[in-house]
Amino acid sequence: MLKEEKINNAPNNTVVEKNGTYCNVIHGDCRSELANFAGKVDLIVTSPPYADARRKHYDSVHPDKFAEWFLTFHESFYNALKPSGSLIINIKDKVVDGVRHRFVWHTIEALCERGWFSIDDYLWHKTNPMPGSWPTRLRDGWEYCFHLAKSKRPFFEPKAVEIPIGDWKHSRLRKLGENDLSRHNSVNASGFGRDISKWVGKETVLPSNVLSLALVGKNKGHPAVFPVELPAFFIKLLCPEDGFVVDPFGGSGSTGIAALALGRNSALIDNNALYYEQAVERLLHESLAQIPDSPERFPVQPKLYEP
Ligand SMILES: C[S@@+](CC[C@H](N)C(=O)[O-])C[C@H]1O[C@@H](n2cnc3c(N)ncnc32)[C@H](O)[C@@H]1O
C-alpha cells in the first residue's frame, strides 16, 4: 500500500512510503540539501547533468568547465556518506567538434585528488543504442558508471548480485580433466589461472562489471532517464539491507523506485520543480514490482576464461 505524506507541511518535501520503506523526494539544490544527511548515507547513485547535452531542458555546463563545476558537489557528497559509503556516477563524455572531450576523466581524476578512492569502472552496455550515423564514429552503445568511495574497502556484497551459472556447466563441468582439478596457469605465462573444480556444484557466479541493460523507451516526463535496474544493481551490491540511498540529481525518480522495491530508505533531490513533482507522481503510480533478477538482464552468459 502506497502512502503520500507531506512532511512539516513543506511544499518542497514529500515522503512516499511503501510497506514501511520510504523515499523522501526533495526540491532543492543538492549541495545545500545534503547537509541534512551528513554521515548518514551508505550509497549515492546518480547521473549528473551531461555537459551541454540538455541545454533545452535544464542547466548544463560547458565540457571545459565540467570538472570545476562538479567539484562544487564534492564536499556535500563526501560529507553525506558514511566512512564505508560509495558514490556511483553514471556519465558519458561528449563529442565536441568530432572529438571525444575528456571532461569525464578529468572530473574523476580531480575527485581522486580530493580524497576519493577509485574502486572500479563499470560499463552500462546499452542493448538498444540510439540509431544514427556519424562520419567517424559508430552508434554509441555504452556509458561509464564510476565507483568511487571514501575508503579502499567500502561496503561490498557481491553475493547479492550473483547470476545463474548458465547451461554450459552441464557439458563443461561434467568432463573435468586433470588440469581442471587444481589451479592451472595459462600456457603463455600471463599469470592468469583457473581452477574449474571450484565451479562444481555452483548455481550462481559473480557477474562482470559490464551491465547489459536497455535504454528506457517509455517517456517518464524527463529527457535523461536511466533504467531502474541500473541503480538497483548498485543498491544490492553497495548498500546494506538497512542502509540509506541518495540520488542527488534525482530526475524522474528511477533511483527511488529501485530503492523502494529493494526495501532501502532513500532520498531524491532535484532542483527542478517540475521534475520534483513528476518524481513524486512516478513513485506513487509506477508499479514497484520486484526488480527482476532474471538472466535476460545479462544477455551474455558467464563463460569460463580458458587461457
Ligand atoms: C541526468 S538527470 C538525472 C536523471 C535520472 N537519473 C532519471 O533516471 O530520471 C540530472 C538531473 O539533475 C538535476 N540537477 C541539476 N543540477 C542540480 C543541483 N544542483 N541540485 C539538484 N539537482 C540538480 C536536473 O534537474 C536533472 O533532472
Sign of CA dihedral 130, 131, 134, 136: positive
CA 188 – CA 201 distance, rounded (Å): 29
Residue with the three cell numbers 503520500 = 4
Q: How far is CA 3 from CA 21, 27, 100, 258, 276, in A?
A: 10, 19, 45, 17, 17
For ligand 1, the distance from its centroid to the CA atom of residue 237, given in whole angstroms, is 23
Confidence of residue 229 (pLDDT cuts 50, 70, 90): very high
The predicted pLDDT at position 61 comes to: 86
Q: Is the pLDDT of residue 303 over 80?
A: no
In ligand 1, which atom is closest to the CA atom of 254? 8
CA 174 – CA 91 distance, rounded (Å): 43
- Cell for 61? 555546463
Strand partners, 14: 6, 25
CA dihedral 110, 115, 117, 121 (to 10 degrees): -20
For ligand 1, the distance from its centroid to the CA atom of residue 6, given in whole angstroms, is 22
Q: Is the pLDDT of residue 169 over 80?
A: no
Strand partners, 193: 185
At the fourth CATH level, the homologous superfamily of domain 2-157+207-288 is Vaccinia Virus protein VP39 (3.40.50.150)
Q: Is the pLDDT of residue 295 over 50?
A: no
What does residue 104 show for φ and ψ, rounded to 5 degrees?
-70, -45
The highest-confidence range among 82-86, 91-95, 97-101, 129-133, by mean pLDDT, is 82-86
Across the range 165-184, mean pLDDT stands at: 66
Task: Give the count of beta carbons closer than 10 Å to the beta carbon of residue 171.
Answer: 8
Q: Is the pLDDT of residue 134 over 60?
A: yes
Q: What is the pTM of this model?
A: 0.88
Q: Read off the pLDDT of residues 175-203 as tens digits, 9 standing for 90 and up.
A: 666 666 665 555 565 555 566 667 777 88
Nearest CA to ligand 1 atom 20: 29
Rg of the chain on CA atoms, in Å: 21
- Cell for 78? 563526501
Amino acid 180 reads: D
For ligand 1, the distance from its centroid to the CA atom of residue 250, given in whole angstroms, is 5
Closest CA to 43 of 87, 84, 90, 75: 87
For ligand 1, the distance from its centroid to the CA atom of residue 291, given in whole angstroms, is 23
CA 44 – CA 148 distance, rounded (Å): 10
Classify residue 236 as exposed, middle or buried by CB count within 10 Å of its CB (0-12, 13-18, 19+).
buried
Confidence of residue 168 (pLDDT cuts 50, 70, 90): low
In ligand 1, which atom is closest to the CA atom of 226? 8
For ligand 1, the distance from its centroid to the CA atom of residue 94, given in whole angstroms, is 17
In ligand 1, which atom is closest to the CA atom of 275? 27
Contact 3, 17 (CB under 8 A): yes
Q: What are the pocket residues of ligand 1 if the criterion is a CB atom closer than 6 Å to any ligand atom?
A: 29-30, 47-49, 58-59, 222, 224-226, 248-249, 251-252, 254, 269-272, 275
Count Cα neighbours of 202 within 13 Å in the Cβ-side half-sphere: 19
Of 11-20, 49-58, 191-200, 287-296, minimum mean pLDDT range: 287-296
Domain ranges of the chain: 2-157+207-288
Q: Read off the pLDDT of residues 144-164 as tens digits, 9 standing for 90 and up.
A: 999 999 999 999 999 999 998
Strand partners, 136: none
Q: Is the pLDDT of residue 307 over 50?
A: no
Nearest CA to ligand 1 atom 12: 249
DSSP letter (8 states) at residue 40: -
For ligand 1, the distance from its centroid to the CA atom of residue 82, given in whole angstroms, is 23
CA dihedral 135, 139, 141, 144 (to 10 degrees): 30
In ligand 1, which atom is closest to the CA atom of 252? 9
Mean pLDDT of all residues belonging to the chain: 85
In ligand 1, which atom is closest to the CA atom of 73? 19
Higher pLDDT, 108 or 19: 108
Higher pLDDT, 51 or 227: 227
CA 92 – CA 139 distance, rounded (Å): 14
CA 23 – CA 190 distance, rounded (Å): 48
Higher pLDDT, 85 or 177: 85
